[in-house]
Structures are given as C-alpha cells and as structure tokens.
Amino acid sequence: MKSPFSPIFPFVFALLLSYHIRVTSADFHATSAPVADLESLIQCLSMHSDNSSISKVIYTQINSSYSSVLNFSIQNLRFSTPNTPKPQVIVTPLDVSQVQAAIKCSKKHGLQIRVRSGGHDFEGLSYVSHVPFVVIDLLNLSEISVDAAEQTAWVQAGATLGQLYYRIAEKSKNLGFPGGLCPTVGESFPELGLTKEDCIEMSWIESAHDLAGFKKGDPLDLLLDRNSRTNGVAEDAATNGFFKSKSDYVKPPIPENAFEGIYDNFYEEDGETAFMLLVPYGGKMSEISESETPYPHRAGNIYQILYTVTWGEDETSQSHIDWIRRLYSHMTPYVSENPREAYINYRDLDIGTNNRGHTSIKQASIWGSKYFKNNFKRLVHVKTMVDPYDFFKNEQSIPPLTSWRKKNGD
C-alpha cells in the first residue's frame, strides 16, 4: 500500500432510543413469542417507519423467502443446522427510518436484535441468539462514495470489503484501505527460509482479489458479489462449510521445536483441513498507540496467528473443535500472556462469554481484556453512556456499569 487511506468515516446511524422502556433479562427468557405478538410487531414496524415500503422488507417464518434471506450470507454452516435458533423476524432496511423502527419495535416486544452486515461473525453472533430475536440485515444499506482527492470515503454499514476495495480501485490506483487481511507476505520470518522468490509483487487491489480466493484472470468485479462463497484464505471453510477459528499474538519468536509439536497436530486426521495464517506486524502497526482506537494489539507483536479448522459434516463438529482447542493449548507457552490476547474479528466464544442476565464487569473483562487490553475499561464507560440498559447485547458485547444506573435512580 503506497499511501494510507484515511480518515474513513463510517456512516453514523441515528440509533438513539427516544424512550426508556426497561428491558429486563426476564423479557428475553420467553422461549418463543406467540404469533399475535408478531402481528403487533409488524404493525409497530409500519407505524414507526416514515417509509411505507417497510412491509416489503419484513420476513417472518411464514414468508416463502424467509429461509433464503436468512441463509443468504451465513458463512459458517455450524450456525445453519436444524437446531440453530432462528430469528422471529428478519428486517432488511432500505433507509435509516426502517433501522430505527426495527430497533424500537424489537425493544418494545422484548426481542433481542442481531445486526448482520456480511455474515462473517466466526461464532454466528450476527444472526443467532439463544433468546427470541430479530435480525436486522444491512445488506441493502451498502452505498459507498469515494473522494480520491480528499482521501476519504463514506461507507454504509452493509457494504462489503470487496465492494469498498473495488470502488476505491475505480477511483485510484494508489489508495487503499486496510480493512481486511494484510496483503504483504512478511520478510520477518527468515528462520522459515522464506526468500524473495516466494513472494509475488502485485498492486493493492490485485492482492485483495487474490486473497479473496479468485484466480489471476478472474474479473475484478467479482469483488462486488456479496453472495460469493469464496472466503479468501479460508477457501476450505467456504468449501466445507463448517469451521472454528481462534487467534493469538506472538511477541518473542516461537522456537523451532514448538513447530514440531504444531506439525504433529496437523498430521492428525482432524487437522487435515486446518491452517494457520501468520500475519506480520511491525511497521505502521507499531507506530499507532494502543489507546488510539479500541484495537490495542500494536508495538511488540511480531505477528498474529489465525488458526482455522474446517469440516463438511455436522457429525464431526465436536472432534474438530476439540482438535483446535488442543492446538491452542499446545501454543500457550509461545504466545502473549496476561492477558493471552485475541482478535475480536476472529470471534472465539471459548475465551469467555456474558451471562444471559446480568454480567459483572469483572467477568466480562476476562474476554474483554484479551480483545481490547486496557481499552476495555474505556469501552465500558462508552457503553454505560450510550446503552445503560444493555439493549444491544450479545455473548461478547461490552456490559455497562450497573452502578451508574443505581446512581441515576434506577
């Protein structure tokens, strides 16, 4: 990448909740909302939306297209089995008022919401919940406008990285945006015998296309296709459908004998379709302070590891998940510790989850400090200000401080 593409501002949705119905955890424990509730939910959606077209973007389980809309962007078949909890309603908003209506009405009807953009959450959190829920799927909010002269872009939250990369490349050969995988193969592993001949020099947009799993001659505009099942380096995951991933950060170099243990794991039957991706750090990443953005994994890391194991049949899910947990356990002495850091975009519920009801900050900080280090505390403060009742909740969402609520009279 020749010149960094910044600043990029995400579209800011006005998600302010204008009233204060207290959503208690008890609301979320109903096993399924009766149909009558769904009818009033749909009525509520029409009433609260400025736009009369909202009925065209509401899918309940009786709509014939419900299951194709739900399946459309599910990337991990672990979360598309008959036992996987399904949303009561899917809403695919066409404008902001419909997003607002979906939030207000879900809250009013005691339904949790899950917001889906590309459907890549590794643990399916963007489209699965174990309490009655609504999926707000942002696929139709995917406008992108790039101003190459100003080096800025406005991107709606439902746009995919492929779409963003393509639109940037249309405007400029030199600008890029580091939204996904780092395209450069690192010079920082001389001990693995990597030479210049092992590397291929390509433009930034070619690398985005290549990492997406497309072949050299394939048209660039395949990046626009949000339905494509290629999953970049995780092509096996796309082919096999089921996968489980974990992540680590490496500070001192891993000794060679540790790799022998890694190879042993990969020779096991369940490891046949697994891979480890080592993403080099340093450079620009080390210049950014840990507290600059929520993402804290900066100076001191030589690389990040993504572990992924893939498989094709639900029956073998447990043995593959056990396999990757054994590999992760083998790696313990060689990776970051106190906390053992992890990458939020490689979501891993093994490292800790919230309770269905109240979760203490102490409990949440077990996984929170792995993803965010010291920034976790600041995120708790932000959360307490914008969502004190914890409506926007999932298994690894930041919990608010409950002491704030007590102080303010709840």
Ligand X SMILES: *[C@@H]1O[C@H](CO)[C@@H](O)[C@H](O)[C@H]1NC(C)=O
Query: Closest CB to ligand X among 127 and 392?
Result: 127
The distance of closest approach from Cβ of residue 29 to ligand X in the complex, given in angstroms and rounded to an integer, is: 25
Of 2, 29, 56, 381, the one binding ligand X by CB under 6 A: 56
Query: Closest CB to ligand X among 63 and 374?
Result: 63
Can you tell me the distance from the alpha carbon of 86 to that of 130, in angstroms, rounded to the nearest whole number?
9
Q: Give the number of other Cβ atoms within 10 Å of residue 169's Cβ.
A: 21
Of 13, 15, 61, 67, the one binding ligand X by CB under 6 A: 67
The distance of closest approach from Cβ of residue 37 to ligand X in the complex, given in angstroms and rounded to an integer, is: 13
- The answer to whether 13 and 117 are in contact (CB under 8 A) is no
83 scored as a contact of ligand X (CB under 6 A): no
Number of residues that bind ligand X (CB under 6 A): 20
**Segments in 195-310 forming alpha helices (H):** 204-211, 235-240, 256-267, 284-287
Query: Closest CB to ligand X among 191 and 221?
Result: 221
378 scored as a contact of ligand X (CB under 6 A): no
53 scored as a contact of ligand X (CB under 6 A): yes
Could you tell me which stretch among 2-10, 47-55, 276-284, 347-355 binds ligand X (CB under 6 A)? Answer: 47-55
Can you tell me the distance from the alpha carbon of 48 to that of 163, in angstroms, rounded to the nearest whole number?
31
Residue 404, H or E segment: helix 402-407
80 scored as a contact of ligand X (CB under 6 A): yes
Can you tell me the distance from the alpha carbon of 116 to that of 138, in angstroms, rounded to the nearest whole number?
6
The distance of closest approach from Cβ of residue 65 to ligand X in the complex, given in angstroms and rounded to an integer, is: 7
Q: Which amino acid, residue 401?
A: L
Coarse DSSP helix, strand, coil percentages of the chain, rounded to the nearest 5 percent: 40, 15, 45
Query: Closest CB to ligand X among 70 and 305?
Result: 70
- The answer to whether 317 and 325 are in contact (CB under 8 A) is no
Could you tell me which stretch among 62-70, 104-112, 306-314, 327-335 binds ligand X (CB under 6 A)? Answer: 62-70
The distance of closest approach from Cβ of residue 314 to ligand X in the complex, given in angstroms and rounded to an integer, is: 10
Instruction: Let me know if 343 is a catalytic residue.
Output: no
68 scored as a contact of ligand X (CB under 6 A): yes
25 scored as a contact of ligand X (CB under 6 A): no
Contact characters 139-158, ligand X, x per CB under 6 A: xx------------------
Number of H helices, E strands in the chain: 12, 10
Query: Closest CB to ligand X among 206 and 225?
Result: 225
- Out of 281, 307, 328, 346, the active site residue is 346
Can you tell me the distance from the alpha carbon of 405 to that of 410, in angstroms, rounded to the nearest whole number?
5
The sheet carrying 89-91 orders its strands as 58-60, 89-91, 133-137, 112-116
Which residues, numbered 91-110, are part of the site for ligand X (CB under 6 A)? 94-95
Buried b vs exposed e over 72-86: b needs ≥16 C-beta within 10 Å?
bbbbbbbbbeeeebb
Which residues, numbered 167-226, are part of the site for ligand X (CB under 6 A)? 226
Can you tell me the distance from the alpha carbon of 76 to that of 146, in angstroms, rounded to the nearest whole number?
31
Lookup: tokens for 38: 């769904």
Q: What residues make contact with ligand X under the rule CB under 6 A?
A: 42, 51-53, 55-56, 58-60, 62-63, 67-68, 71, 80, 94-95, 139-140, 226
Give the residue numbers marked as catalytic.
346
